[in-house]
Structure 1
Amino acid sequence: MQTTIRKAQVSDIEALVNFNQLMAKETEGKQLDGDILTLGVSNLINDANKGFYLVAEVDKQVVGSLMVTTEWSDWRNSEFWWVQSVYIVPKFRRKGLYSALYNEVKALGDKAQNVCGYRLYVERENRVAQRTYQALDMEESHYLMFEGK
């Protein structure tokens, strides 16, 4: 299995939109609006200030992705990188692709020299994902998340 991890580009937008729709359906039972999602993915791809996507290719086929956005920490005078929108095609799960994607995030963060940590959200019930993150030396935060509209 020939695996490549790389930054996403404009030609990956369709796959990223598809992955986001599949993830929303799988994890939250939501159907996302394709037009809005395509604009959202395209805006991030075309504006590095918003973040970036990484994709995992196996034999030149995109089979996984994640998005990174940043959060400024005044306490640390550096950034947290948030890992979001993680999706791996089901038949390629449990083969180390997420680990490869996350390790590339950390390598890019080390190279940037202004990243103080990596964060992500995980569904409370998703124990498989939680074990994966723990295996990558991530720990459960003491923060709860609140959301307003």
Structure 2
Amino acid sequence: MTDLVIRRAAPMDAAILAANNRAMALETEGKVLDTATTLRGAAALIADESKGFYLIAERASEVAGQLMVTYEWSDWRNGTFWWIQSVYVSPASRRSGVFGALYRRVREMAADAGDVCGIRLYVETANARAQSTYVALGMQRSHYELYELDLAFGSS
């Protein structure tokens, strides 16, 4: 997508990132997230690179999509996995290569970093469209199942 600009998020982007995170949570999980909490969360990640980073895809200076990368240390590999999270593509920009462009930039950055041993993400089990996109981009289904204890939202 030559009309897309992929860039790292800056403090001025916190409000749109938080709004997109709320939209994604409502759309994918039916969860209504607190506005103030999501704004503080986005701002905290932007301010502290040890937590991770956001990438933003812009088209004509409008945010078309975003994703967040966080880190997981692997003692087995003596390297870091980058976890792709908080993926959101605006409805008008879906199926136009926005996620693919973001993903390719993450791959480039991971290769340049030198200590990244892999890229991971999780996806809703019923989201077949997203799963097919990930496979088309070269990702493979992991042999791991994901379990969690959600202390913020409780069991659901």
> Counterpart in 2 of 1:124?
125
Question: Which residue identity is paired with 1:36?
Answer: T
Deviation at 1:146, TM superposition (A): 1.1
Deviation at 1:97, TM superposition (A): 0.6
Deviation at 1:21, TM superposition (A): 0.5
Q: Write the deviation string for residues 80-103 of structure 1: whole angstroms up to 9, x where unpaired.
A: 000000000011000001000000
> Counterpart in 1 of 2:86?
85
Question: Which residue identity is paired with 1:27?
Answer: T
> Aligned partners of 1:35, 1:58: CA distance in 2, in Å?
27
> Counterpart in 1 of 2:154?
none
Q: Write the deviation string for residues 34-77 of structure 1: whole angstroms up to 9, x where unpaired.
A: 11111111100000000000000001111210000000000000
> Counterpart in 2 of 1:73?
74
Aligned length: 149
The alignment status of 1:24 with 2:25, answered yes or no, reads yes
Matched residue SS, 1:142: coil
> Counterpart in 2 of 1:115?
116
Deviation at 1:2, TM superposition (A): 2.1
Question: Which residue identity is paired with 2:96?
Answer: K
> Aligned partners of 2:33, 2:122: CA distance in 1, in Å?
19
> Aligned partners of 1:142, 1:77: CA distance in 2, in Å?
20
> Counterpart in 1 of 2:48?
47
Matched residue SS, 2:144: coil
Question: Which residue identity is paired with 2:107?
Answer: K
> Aligned partners of 1:52, 1:12: CA distance in 2, in Å?
12
Question: Identity of paired residues, percent?
Answer: 50
> Counterpart in 2 of 1:56?
57
> Counterpart in 2 of 1:2?
3
Question: Which residue identity is paired with 1:102?
Answer: Y
Structure 2 stretches lacking a partner, 5+ long: 152-156
Structure 1 stretches lacking a partner, 5+ long: none
1:90-105 matched pairs, under 5 angstroms: 90-105=91-106
> Aligned partners of 1:29, 1:131: CA distance in 2, in Å?
22
Give the TM-score taking structure 1 as reference length.
0.98
> Counterpart in 1 of 2:148?
147
Matched residue SS, 1:18: helix
